[in-house]
Amino acid sequence: MSQNISLPISLIPLAWKRADLGPVSKREFFEDPGSTSLRYRFVEKESKCDLFDSWRLRDDFLGWSIEDWQAFFYMAGKWSGVGYITQSDFAEWQQLLREALVHPAKDWKSLARQFALQKVSRLAGPMRILFDWQGDVPIAKVVLTDSLTAIIATIQVDALRGAKFRVCARHDCKSAPFRIEARHKIYCDSDCAHLVAVRNSRERAANAEPSSRVMKSQKRKQR
């Protein structure tokens, strides 16, 4: 029988190492180095990743430039327990996790229509949780072993607390979906809102210019 229990949740990242990427197959790499399906294995560095805020890591990942995708792992370390990754995998994870943020958790399984089933299953999969009894109030601690686990944990925790997210209304904004704190807010930040306002103003001015020229021409003819 289930019980309703309220307790704090904390995300505990373990100390994992930075990582570089090396091609799984040197032959395939030399034949087509630009292929998005080329598999790369993780090569751990001696230096460890700095402890980071998992929510910040999520925003960094979702806004990361696909052209510079390999650099993400030097900052964030090993991606997951899978031994390799491709550029296509990286891009699909970005798209899937963006969609997960703006969809209710009950709808996550339906994302398998758009994305690889294995990835969708990982999104809704179980997390390793430990209970800390040392303080006055027990804490549920989610153990994070890699950067993908850390990002998925933030999405699951946000879903648990009922947080809602929205994609920025600026069509070319690359930032992560932002948390809805006011219904009227449609841009992720003031910079995007200002840029759209400037673009709209320039477009109105450009559209008004031909009409202005026509009116001036007609006045000259009347004279």
- Is position 1 within any domain? no
Q: Could you give the dihedral angle defined by the CA atoms of residues 101, 102, 107 and 112, in that order, rounded to the nearest 10 degrees?
A: -70
Give the Cα separation of 107 and 197 in Å (integer): 34
Predicted confidence band of residue 206 (pLDDT cuts 50, 70, 90): confident
Q: In this structure, are 210 and 151 located in the same domain?
A: no
For residue 217, being part of any structural domain is answered with yes
pLDDT at 2: 73
**Do 211 and 110 lie in a common domain?**
no
- Both 148 and 223 in a single domain? no
For residue 62, what are its two tokens?
């979702």
Q: What digits encode the pLDDT tens for the residues 76-93?
A: 888 887 778 999 999 999
Q: 100 near 125, Cβ under 8 Å?
A: no
Report CA-CA distances (Å) from 211 to 61, 214, 221. 46, 5, 16
In a domain, 182, yes or no: yes
Contact, 51 vs 80, CB < 8 A? no
| 123, 107 contact by CB (below 8 A) | no
Over pLDDT 90: what percentage of the chain? 40
- Specify whether 180 is located in the same domain as 219: no
- Taking Cα atoms as reference points, which of 166, 190, 189 lies closest to residue 178? 166
Yes or no: say if 171 and 182 are a contact pair by the CB < 8 Å rule: no
Of 47-51, 55-59, 95-99, give the lowest mean pLDDT range. Answer: 47-51
Question: Does 176 lie in the same domain as 208?
Answer: no
| 124 and 196 in a common domain | no
Q: What is the mean pLDDT of the chain?
A: 86
Give the mean model confidence (pLDDT) for residues 100-115.
96
Q: Is the pLDDT of residue 223 over 60?
A: no
Residue 4 lies in a domain: no
* Within a domain: 17: yes
How many independent structural domains does the chain possess?
Answer: 2
In a domain, 50, yes or no: yes
Which structural domain, as residue segments, surrounds residue 118?
A: 9-186
Three-state secondary-structure class, residue 191: helix
The C-alpha atoms of residue 77 and residue 149 are separated, in whole angstroms, by 12
Whether residues 122 and 208 share a domain: the answer is: no
Q: With a cut of 80, say whether residue 47 has pLDDT above it.
A: no
* Rounded Cα–Cα distance for residues 147 and 130 (Å): 19
Q: Say whether both 139 and 212 belong to one domain.
A: no
- 222 confidence band (pLDDT: 50, 70, 90): low
Which residue has better confidence, 111 or 81? 111
Where are any strands of DSSP class E within 49-85? 84-85
Contact predicate 73/102, CB 8 Å: no
Residue 140 lies in a domain: yes
What's the pLDDT tens digit per position in 118-174?
A: 999 999 999 999 999 988 889 999 988 889 999 999 999 999 999 998 888 888 888
CA–CA distance, 185 with 99 (Å, rounded to integer) = 19
Handedness of CA 38, 44, 47, 48 (dihedral sign): positive
> What was the pLDDT predicted at 76?
87
Query: What integer is the mean pLDDT of 3-26?
Result: 82
Q: Is residue 142 part of a domain?
A: yes
